[in-house]
A and B are shown apart, each in its own frame.
Chain A
Amino acid sequence: MGLDLLPDFFDCPTRIHFADQEADEKIDLMLRRHWATNIPWIVAAFIGLFFPAIVVIIDQAANLYLIEQLPLSIFNGLMLVWYLFLVAYIIENLLHWYFNVYIVTNLHLVQISLKSLLVKTVTQSRLDDVQGVRTKIKGVFASIFNFGDVLVETAARTEDILFADVPTPDIVADRIQDLQEVQEGQGGGDVG
């Protein structure tokens, strides 16, 4: 599911763990936003790659020749700053996508988010607190690539969990409901 380069759907991963995972807890699904949600910033970065060349072409086409008046060292410095800005933009988008994950285990639903530069949030809800699961596929782009939101409504004392733009939302919702039924069949189990 998805590109190998940008993996977004892990079915029963055995080599992935998360903080606070209980000894008898197994990850059933680990999801990220669908890889296609990265397309807008990848396109922006690609355009940014050629932005200096575009500026030079416009400068010459308009007969301004402002860039020719710059000392070479200053021109190199400006190029350096531009491409560092571009690298920072790519790194931040990539990290934001990579570290925002949704985990479905046999006991919990877990949302790990990188909110801003140094703020991490972990939202966890017990499967037996789940009261309903809804899916929503919004827009043509989402329909083409088959991704959307899965909203998990939980008991009033805990906040609802939103799995945003995850691949195959219907399959994800079914899996959560199946796991919840198993959990209920076991009489709630020993959960934390």
Chain B
Amino acid sequence: MSAEPNSALIIWFIIKWMIVILVFLYFVFSLIVIKQVSLMSDALITEVDPTLRLLSIINSLVALGLVAYSIVFI
């Protein structure tokens, strides 16, 4: 009788950590975006470069916050 709730809990636990891993992968992607923007801004110099760099950093910080959120609240 008690096996069913336990197995459900295990499944939710596995899904939770899969979600955390996927959110962490987005954080890794956001770091790659920072590198991409930096790399391309060196090749093509425009007025919006500082804005793009700032946006890419903000995106990465938000992603880091979401990793923390997903660990704590999911």
User: Chain A interface (Cβ within 8 Å of chain B)?
Assistant: 15-19, 71, 73-74, 76-78, 80-81, 84-85, 87-88, 91, 95, 99, 101, 112, 114, 117-118, 120, 122
Contact = CB atoms under 8 A, between A and B. Distances in A.
A7 B36 CA distance: 20
Given A15-B47, A19-B43, A80-B66, 4 more contacts: A17-B45, A19-B45, A80-B74, A118-B32
Contacts of A77: 15-16, 19, 70, 74
Nearest to B32: A117
Contacts of B73: 73, 76
Interface of B: 12, 15-16, 19, 22-23, 26, 29, 32-33, 35-37, 39-40, 42-47, 59, 63, 66, 70, 73-74
A19 B42 contact: yes
B33 A91 contact: yes
Contacts of B35: 118
Nearest to A30: B44
Given A73-B73, A91-B33, A16 B19 contact: no
A6 B66 CA distance: 29
A95 B43 contact: no
Contacts of B16: 73-74, 77
Contacts of B29: 88
Contacts of A122: 43
Contacts of B22: 81, 84
Contacts of A120: 39-40, 43
Nearest to A91: B33
A90 B66 CA distance: 18
Nearest to B47: A15
A74 B44 contact: no
Contact of B33 (A71, A78, A85, A95): A95
Contact of A80 (B12, B23, B32, B43): B23
